Amino acid sequence: MTRYDHVVVGSGIAGLSFALKAAAHGNVALVTKADKRESNTVYAQGGIACVTSAEDSFELHVKDTLEAGAGLCEEAITRAIVSEGPARVRELIDLGVRFDSKEVPGQPAGSASSELDLTQEGGHSKRRILHSRDVTGREIERALLDAIEHHPQIHVFEHHMAVDLITLSKLGFASEDRVLGLYVLNQASGEVLTLRSDRVILATGGCGKVYLYTTNPAIATGDGLAIAWRAGARIANMEFIQFHPTCLYHPEAGSFLISEAVRGEGALLVDKRGRRFMDRYDARGELAPRDVVARAIDAEMKRTGARCMYLDITHKAPEFILERFPNIAGTCRKFGIDITKDRIPVVPAAHYQCGGVQTDCDGATSLRGLYAIGEVACTGLHGANRLASNSLLEAVAIAHRCNELIQRSRALDVENGRSNFPLPEWTAGEAQDLDEMVVIYHNWDEIRRLMWDYVGIVRTTKRLQRAATRLRNLDREIQEFYWNFNVTTDLLELRNLCTVAALIVDSALLRRESRGLHYTLDYPESNAALCQATLLRRH
């Protein structure tokens, strides 16, 4: 057993931001199941939404967020995050993040005359998206990793996967439950470590890999969400899974995202004959919120039998396109698509979980000692549909607030007498090594296909019920594997995927209306009486 003042799970923008600030007050264990550079953050193309222009205002940003959230955003939390945005962005710039800038017309060239180059995305009424070309997440991750490199107070556990939280109730105590630490699998040795801490911060990102088609990397298997659920934390709004409208459609492209910023810079959505269709679905056209655009593309594909729709930015100057979107242009070029001349084939794909572990505005969950920040958390900012580029803003804002809360409460922990008794080591019992990996891979594939077919952009009660029945059976099979065999990354991810899939389905069955990202043919209208969060808690 090793003691730490803070244990952070995840090395994206939320986890790294928190670790840097917490390291000024105590040591930090940073646990990440892959290379520390691999996270959802790295794949964020568009940017970070923040009010920095004189033409913009906090009120407008709040208004846009509330409208996109379809009635379920927590207004007080939204205002707090939006208003703190400029200070958090300034911290990123001070760390070395290089956001794109432009020269001010009429002023002499030079750094003193430049200003931030802002773009616009769907649902935003103003240009307020700070970006670094089309690799904003990669640039932010670079600066944060540079800052933690060789930090004496931060111990990075790469290729270590969180297994489960250790709590008072799991140890048999009847007093108020709280977190005591975390079991972590060393993927190289197979050993399970015991990390002791009264403060565990989940920053594990989302669960896109629960779907067959997703813009998320392979690591996005909902680990933090499943871990929190098993420990008894409240989960909120998991029916709201955001499907990004424009994922590159190509048999060899995998899960490459075509940023919303492409539409923000004037790209049009068209069918194979070059005809626009978004005006039939929303007066805002291509700049409608993501849920509207994703459903429109899905409807057009089903209506016409087409395999994809197209994004057309060929009317813009080639120099502008290549300067603004070098990563997208380069990737498309690998597949024979010249975006300065050719339309980009696109389809919707699972992208972002708007629900998650329920927290307050400081990242505190319903389980004492457990905190959640970033995509794994449900703060109330996103409501029923996330406004584009609000995710990176939320991550840095809540990481900052979470650290301040924890440092304020540490003195109280000492005064009240923290639990200092040693924790039990992990015991494998009579578990054996897995002998048939094909079963793991088959169940993994079945969950993802089932979720795509039955729990996608458009849902029905019958499909959801079928999904729930099959997931219950799969859960029994997976639990048998978990208890009879030694844990591996594949087995742990499968276990977590099944748990997260069930949470999405159960939440969707409870919402008997259509709102935001949850659209069901059985209840196609929104119901004001049902405008409240969907809460689940394991008993």
Cα distance between residue 260 and residue 47, in whole Å: 10
Q: Which of 144, 146, 140, 114 is nearest to 45 (CA)?
A: 140
Q: Sheet containing 2-3: give its strands across.
A: 2-3, 192-196, 179-186, 160-167
Give the three-state DSSP class for 252. Answer: coil
C-alpha 390/C-alpha 531 separation (Å) is 22
CA angle 92, 131, 21 (to 5 degrees): 15
* Residue 9 bridge partners (DSSP): 31, 202
Are 183 and 157 spatial neighbours (Cβ–Cβ below 8 Å)?
A: no
418 φ, ψ (degrees, to nearest 5): -70, 160
Let me know: does 391 contact 27? Beta carbons within 8 Å.
no
Q: If we measure between CA atoms, which residue out of 153, 199, 196 comes closest to residue 6?
A: 199
Q: 276 - beta bridge partners?
A: 270
Tokens 């995710």 appear where?
391
Name the DSSP letter for residue 343.
Answer: P
Contact 350, 210 (CB under 8 A): yes
CB 534 within 8 A of CB 510: yes
Of 199, 290, 448, 459, the active-site residue reads: 290
CA–CA distance, 504 with 353 (Å, rounded to integer): 10
CA-CA distance, 218 to 109, in Å (whole number)?
44
Q: Find out whether 259 and 46 touch, Cβ atoms under 8 Å.
A: yes
372 beta partners: 202
For helices 136-148 and 390-416, what crossing angle results, to 10°? 30
Between CA 238 and CA 74 the distance in angstroms is: 16
DSSP 383: T
**Residue 443, amino acid:** N
d(CA 108, CA 114): 9
Partnered with residue 269 across adjacent β-strands are 311
* Catalytic-residue membership of 128: no
The two tokens of residue 444 are 């993994």
- Measure the CA–CA gap between 342 and 248, rounded to whole angstroms: 13
Q: Tell me the Ramachandran region of residue 274: left when phi exceeds 0, alpha when psi lies from -120 to 50, beta otherwise.
A: left
Element of type H or E holding 30: strand 28-32
What letter represents residue 183's amino acid? Y
For the annotated catalytic residues, the residue numbers are 290
